[in-house]
Amino acid sequence: MGTLLIIKTGAKLASLADHPGDYEHWIARGMGWPLERMHVADVRAGDPLPDAGSVAAVAITGSRAMLTEQAPWMVRSAHWLTAAVERELPVLGICFGHHLLAWALGGMCQPRSDSECSFS
């Protein structure tokens, strides 16, 4: 089993403080991936993304961020994801991670309300 890259785009909600771990731990556990074979890149904090050929799969966490912000970390992550998908790397986007992946692959995010994007 190779390395699972977790692209961390946010942290768990305060209301989940009683649940141990954070998104990356829950994802690895849910996928049955050993924690020692997991690499976390907190892209909001500027962590570099590894070469796509050095990981077996990718999961992108949720976030409170909105794609309409088009923050530099979002743009950088989207470019990396486009290249990863072109290499046929398995990618799972969860909540915001799904939105980021869709945007990276050409989807257009348009605000519908304070908390949602619609894609076309």
Tell me the per-residue pLDDT of 28-48, one tens digit each, with 9 for 90 and over: 999 999 989 999 999 999 999
Domain extents for the chain?
4-119
Asked whether the predicted pLDDT for residue 114 surpasses 60, the reply is no
Asked whether the predicted pLDDT for residue 23 surpasses 60, the reply is yes
- 36 HSE (CA, 13 A, CB side): 0
Q: Which residues of 79-104 are buried (b: 16+ CB within 10 A; e: fewer)?
A: ebbeebbeeebebebbebbbbbbbbb
Asked whether the predicted pLDDT for residue 116 surpasses 90, the reply is no
Architecture of domain 4-119: 3-Layer(aba) Sandwich (3.40)
Apex CA 90: angle with CA 106 and CA 6, to 5°?
Answer: 90
For the question of whether the overall pTM of this predicted structure is more than 0.75, the answer is yes
Asked whether the predicted pLDDT for residue 113 surpasses 70, the reply is no
- Write down the pLDDT at residue 112: 63
Q: Give the mean pLDDT of the chain.
A: 91
